[in-house]
């Protein structure tokens, strides 16, 4: 049931109750019980096949959900026929009495009035599987939908209807009927504390200038980190239309930063270098059926993505060196909304560029191998022979282009160095304090260089397209026991043969 050009006029006059899906009917009943007169259902309130209406309403989505009194979520339902309320079901509860004895009790729950009544013990349902603000997608398929991610975060209050109980989420935290999630923090709370970036801050007193600028920088850093966290969570969601990749997060983009002129297809200009350091999270994903965004943007993929390096929250490092310099960047939006769909975009950058090729594409039982070309003696060397798959992350499968990407000169594949992190531990990604011992804290283990894997589309104009992401860890060999230092092994970007090149990435 939805509104389109064919049903628009008829729907304005009225919609028959029996023509509504079960979830829509339950939502109306719930709104009436709460004495709420107006109910927004996007499938009915937006003319789905009128592009101008859809684009206008998509641009206003942040306002709709952020200003809603409450959002009713059929979290357990796979589609609009699943409804809100669960049927009566039985479950086993483990009850612990005051004297410490445990009892297993079979309980028949009332889905409307609540499952837990006057028990003098703690009763935990096992169905929510809520961990770090994530639902189990197999039990709660609604949370696997891309559009629902920003709807959930923007809404000041969400009432989730699950299989066994009702869960409440607001900007203070998360709780449920069985109280297992009592006072659990929500991502909404982080969003509510975001500071707004200001291009020209007004600081009336010179005495307060440094403090004010420091606070602005602190808020900017919080915004940057929160945005990357949002993107990582959102990118796990599924979209019916791949072209919705940017519109379905545009409301959150407006909330994170009012200055949308700095928005570039899912990436922010002030943190552009950091936002380019991403990879697909779970291996090469399917190619989008249509062009969505420039290849350097995470939005160009259909896959879950992960931002890497110390700036994303993991690892310890002593310093870093950026090899990449952004000379120019531009994106052209499709309509009037700068956070919506884009029709084109590019960036012009300068950095160390080396030719390479990939082997293993035609083999199903062999991981990808990256080979660098040595122009000095006209030969190739295989990189990362011990663990090649751990350092090469392709955005999409390349098996259908084996000949193109395994060719000798003129090369189709190039590697562009982005940033090197110098670390005391040797790990800058997916690491925590518990991973290291007291003795390892002072050891200079080496450095980690992240680079883009590019496909050359036009050698004359030096135009390239991103096809993947790589990581080279240069471990210290022969550590001096006195200084705990040693020489570094350089393989991919040796200074003597690597030159900075100005290129265009589309």
The mean pLDDT of 347-361, rounded to a whole number, is 83
Q: In this predicted structure, what is the pLDDT of residue 186? A: 63
Distance of CA 136 to the CA centre of its chain: 17
CB-based contacts of 379, cutoff 8 Å, min separation 6: 373
Q: How many domains does the chain have?
A: 1
Q: What is the pLDDT of residue 477?
A: 53
Q: What is the pLDDT of residue 211?
A: 40
221's CB contacts (< 8 A; 6+ apart) are none
Nearest residue to 249 (alpha-carbon basis) of 149, 158, 332, 345: 149
Question: Does 156 map to a domain?
Answer: no
What pLDDT is recorded for position 459?
Answer: 86
- Against a cut of 0.85, is the pTM above it? no
Which phi-psi region, left, alpha or beta, contains residue 182 (left: φ > 0; alpha: ψ -120 to 50)?
beta
Beta bridge partners of 319: 422
User: Which among 275, 278, 244 is positioned nearest to 150, based on CA atoms?
Assistant: 244
pLDDT at position 73 is 92
Say yes or no to pLDDT of 488 above 60.
no
pLDDT, residue 480, reads 53
pLDDT category at 411 given cuts 50, 70, 90 is: low
Cα 470 from Cα 368, distance rounded (Å): 12
For residue 451, give the H/E element and its range.
strand 446-458
- DSSP state for residue 93 in the 8-state scheme: E
- Is 306 a member of any domain? yes
In a domain, residue 457? The reply is: yes
d(CA 337, CA 63): 14
Task: For residue 302, tell me if it sits in a domain.
Answer: yes
- Phi, psi torsion values for 370, nearest 5 degrees: -110, 130
Residue 82 lies in a domain: no
Q: Is 373 within the bounds of a domain? A: yes
Q: Specify if 277 maps to a domain.
A: yes
Tell me the residue range of the domain where 486 lies.
259-426+441-505
CA 130 to chain centre: 18
Rg of the chain in Å (alpha carbons): 26
100 or 202: whose pLDDT is higher? 100
The answer on pLDDT for 436 being more than 50 is: no
Report the mean per-residue pLDDT for the chain: 74
Mean pLDDT of 380-384: 50
**Position 157 confidence tier, pLDDT thresholds 50, 70, 90:** very high
Mean pLDDT of 95-103: 74
| Alpha-carbon span 424 to 8, nearest angstrom | 64
- Residue (of 139, 150, 152) closest to 235 by Cα position: 150
Alpha carbon of 347 to those of 331, 376, 408, 462, 463: distances in Å?
9, 30, 27, 12, 10
Q: Is residue 127 part of a domain?
A: no
- Interval 278-309: pLDDT, tens: 999 988 888 888 999 999 999 999 999 999 87
Asked whether the predicted pLDDT for residue 373 surpasses 70, the reply is no
Q: Which helix (H) or strand (E) holds 85?
A: none
Residue 256 vs residue 8, higher pLDDT? 8
What is the mean pLDDT of the segment spanning 93-122? 56
Say whether pLDDT at 466 is over 90.
yes
H-type alpha helices, 394-465: 402-405
| 52 has a pLDDT exceeding 70 | yes
pLDDT of residue 26: 94
22-26, 121-125, 153-157, 170-174: which has the minimum mean pLDDT?
121-125
The confidence score (pLDDT) of residue 61 equals 83
Per-residue pLDDT reduced to its tens digit, 223-239 = 778 889 889 989 988 88
């Amino acid at each position: 049931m939805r509104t389109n050009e064919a049903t628009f006029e008829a729907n304005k006059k009225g919609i028959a109750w029996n023509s509504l899906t079960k979830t829509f009917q339950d939502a109306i009943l719930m709104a009436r019980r709460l004495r709420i007169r107006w109910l927004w259902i996007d499938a009915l309130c937006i003319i789905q096949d009128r592009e101008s209406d859809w684009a206008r309403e998509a641009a206003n989505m942040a306002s709709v959900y952020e200003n809603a009194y409450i959002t009713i979520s059929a979290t357990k339902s796979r589609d609009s026929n699943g409804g809100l309320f669960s049927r009566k079901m039985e479950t086993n509860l483990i009850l612990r009495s005051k004297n410490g004895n445990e009892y297993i009790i079979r309980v028949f729950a009332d889905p409307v009035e609540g499952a837990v009544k006057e028990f003098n013990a703690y009763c935990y349902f096992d169905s929510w599987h809520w961990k770090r603000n994530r639902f189990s997608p197999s039990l709660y398929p609604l949370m696997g939908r891309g559009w629902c991610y920003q709807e959930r975060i923007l809404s000041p209050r969400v009432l989730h209807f699950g299989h066994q109980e009702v869960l409440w989420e607001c900007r203070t935290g998360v709780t449920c009927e069985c109280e297992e999630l009592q006072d659990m923090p929500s991502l909404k709370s982080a969003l509510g504390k975001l500071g707004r970036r200001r291009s020209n801050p007004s600081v009336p007193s010179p005495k307060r200038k440094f403090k004010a600028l420091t606070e602005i920088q602190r808020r900017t850093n919080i915004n940057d980190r929160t945005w990357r966290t949002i993107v990582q969570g959102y990118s796990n969601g599924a979209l019916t239309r791949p072209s919705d990749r940017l519109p379905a997060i545009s409301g959150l983009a407006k909330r994170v930063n009012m200055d949308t002129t700095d928005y570039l297809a899912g990436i922010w200009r002030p943190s552009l270098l950091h936002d380019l350091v991403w990879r697909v999270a779970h291996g090469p994903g399917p190619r989008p059926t249509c062009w969505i965004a420039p290849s350097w943007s995470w939005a160009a993929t259909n896959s879950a993505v992960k931002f890497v390096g110390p700036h994303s929250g993991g690892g310890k490092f002593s310093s870093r060196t950026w090899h990449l310099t952004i000379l120019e960047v531009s994106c052209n939006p499709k309509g009037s909304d700068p956070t919506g769909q884009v029709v084109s975009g590019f960036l012009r950058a300068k950095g160390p560029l080396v030719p390479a090729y990939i082997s293993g594409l035609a083999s199903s039982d062999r991981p990808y191998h990256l080979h660098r070309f040595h122009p000095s003696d006209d030969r190739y060397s295989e990189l990362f022979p011990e663990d090649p798959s751990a350092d090469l992350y392709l955005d999409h499968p390349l098996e259908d282009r084996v000949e193109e990407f395994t060719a000798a000169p003129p090369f189709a594949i190039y590697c562009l160095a982005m940033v090197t992190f110098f670390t005391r531990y040797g790990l800058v990604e997916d690491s925590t304090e518990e991973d290291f011992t007291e003795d390892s804290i002072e050891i200079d283990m080496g450095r980690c260089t992240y680079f883009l894997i590019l496909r050359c589309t036009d050698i004359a104009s030096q135009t390239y397209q991103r096809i993947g992401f790589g990581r080279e860890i240069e471990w210290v060999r022969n550590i001096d026991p006195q200084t705990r230092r040693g020489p570094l092994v350089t393989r991919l970007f040796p200074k003597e043969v690597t030159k900075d090149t100005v290129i265009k990435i589309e």
